[in-house]
Amino acid sequence: MGQRSLKTGAKRLAAGLARGARALAGSVGASRIFRPLARRMFLRHTNVVYYHLIGERQPYYAPGRGGECSVDQFARDIAGLKEVFTFTTLERLCEYNQDGFASHRPLMALTFDDGFRLSRPQLMQVLDDNDIKATQFLITSCVGNRNLMWRNKLFAIRAMVPESIYVARYNALAHDAGFAPIAGGADLGPASAAWSMSRKDEWADELWHTCNMPPLADFLNEHQPYFSWDEVEEWLSAGHNVGLHTRTHPYCSQLTNDEIEEEIVRPAAELRARLKFDFFPFSYPFGDRIAAAKERPS
C-alpha cells in the first residue's frame, strides 16, 4: 500500500479536524477578518476533511454521527472551505507532506469513507463545479451491495425496530454470547464497539434476524447503499481516486496478526491489482490504528 501499509505520509487527521474544518466553513470561512489567521494556522498541517453520506437521510446511517449532510449543505461547506483552503488530491497532499514542499495557502484533500453511492449525479456536479478530485475509501466486502457493514446493520435496527424490542433482543444475545447487556438504545453503539472483532458480523446478523428485520438481500436491493464496481470505474474515470477502508470495517487495534492480513493486507493487494494503482491510500475505520510496530511496508 505504498511505502508503508498506512501510506504514512498520508496520515489523515482525526474526527476533531473533520468536524472543525466543516465548522470553519460556516464561521471563519465566512469572516474576512479571520481568514488570514485560519490560513496561517492550517498552512503547515496535513488537512483532510471527510464525509460519509451525502444526500437524503437513510435508515442505515445514524443521524448525528457526523459526515452526513444534504447536497446543498455539502455545497455550502465546500464554498466556505475554499475561502481558506486550496483543494488538492490526497496524493498531492501526501507529496507535500512527505517532501516538505511549501504552499502559500493551506492545502486540503476531500475524502469519503465507506464507499456509499452518495448522491450522484448531484454530488459529482458539486465536485466538478469546484474542480475537486476526491478519494473514496471502500469497504471491500460491501462493494456491489454484497453486504451491509455491521455497524450500519445496528443503525438500521435502531431506525426500524421499537427500542424496547431491539434492546430486549440485544440483551438476550448478550446473555448467550457472554458480553454486557445495555440499558437503552443509546448504549447500542458504544456497547458493540467492545465486541470481539472476529464475531462482530455474526452477532450483527443474529440481532438483525431476531429483530425480524427484512431479508438482508431485499434491504440491500431496495437501498443500494454502496458503489458497484462499475460505479467505482466511473468514479475513477472522472479523475477521482479510491483507497482501502478494510474488508469489514473493524476496530483495527483489536485485530490479531492473522486478522490484519485478512482485513488489510490481502484486500489491499486485491484492490490494488484490480485497479492497477501506484498511489494507494488506506483509512482506518473509526480512526482506530493498529500498533505502530505492526505497520509495515507492503
Q: pLDDT by residue (tens digit) across 194-247?
A: 999 999 999 999 999 999 999 999 999 999 999 999 999 999 999 999 999 999
Which of 220, 245, 269 is a domain's end point? 220
* pLDDT (0 to 100) of residue 9: 34
One domain for residues 252 and 193: no
Same domain, 209 and 100: no
Contacts of 259 (CB under 8 A, 6+ apart): 197, 198, 250
Residue % of the chain over a pLDDT of 70:
85
130-137 average pLDDT score: 98
Q: What is the pLDDT of residue 29?
A: 54
Do 156 and 177 lie in one domain? The reply is yes
Domain limits at 14?
A: 8-145+225-294
257 and 115 share a domain?
yes
Considering the domain architecture, whether residues 48 and 182 belong to the same structural domain is answered as no
Q: Does 120 map to a domain?
A: yes
In a domain, 3, yes or no: no
- Of 163, 186, 220, which closes a domain? 220
* Structure confidence at residue 96 as a pLDDT band (50, 70, 90): confident
In a domain, 2, yes or no: no
Identify whether residues 140 and 25 lie together within a single domain.
yes
Instruction: Give phi and psi for 31, each to the nearest 5.
Output: -110, 115
For residue 277, the domain's CATH number is: 3.20.20.370
Mean residue pLDDT of the chain comes to: 87
Total number of domains in the chain? 2
Residue 44 lies in a domain: yes
- Same-domain status, 231 and 287: yes
Do residues 254 and 211 share a domain?
no
Q: Where are the alpha helices (DSSP H) in the chain?
A: 15-26, 35-42, 71-82, 90-99, 122-129, 150-160, 163-177, 188-192, 200-210, 216-223, 229-237, 257-260, 266-275
Same domain, 93 and 237: yes
Whether 209 is in a domain gets the answer: yes
Q: What share of the chain is helix, strand, coil (3-state, %, to 5)?
A: 50, 10, 40
Among 220, 235, 261, which residue terminates a domain?
A: 220
- Residues 79, 43, single domain; the answer is yes
Whole-angstrom distance, CA of residue 83 vs CA of residue 154: 38
Weakest mean pLDDT among 82-86, 162-166, 184-188, 256-260 = 82-86
pLDDT of residue 23: 56
Query: In which band, very low, low, confident or very high, does the pLDDT at 294 lie, cut at 50, 70 and 90?
Result: confident
Asked, for residue 23, whether it belongs to a domain, the answer is: yes
Model pLDDT, residue 14 = 36
| Cell digits of residue 260 | 490484519
Q: What is the DSSP letter of 146?
A: S
Q: What is the 3-state secondary structure (H, E, C) of 77-124?
A: HHHHHHCCCEECCHHHHHHHHHHCCCCCCCEEEEEEEECECCCCCHHH
Residue 139 pLDDT > 60? yes
Q: Is it the case that residue 129 has pLDDT exceeding 90?
A: yes
Same domain, 21 and 81: yes
Q: Specify if 132 maps to a domain.
A: yes
Indicate whether 38 and 96 sit together in one domain.
yes
**Backbone φ, ψ for residue 207 (5° rounding):** -65, -40
> Is 214 part of any domain?
yes
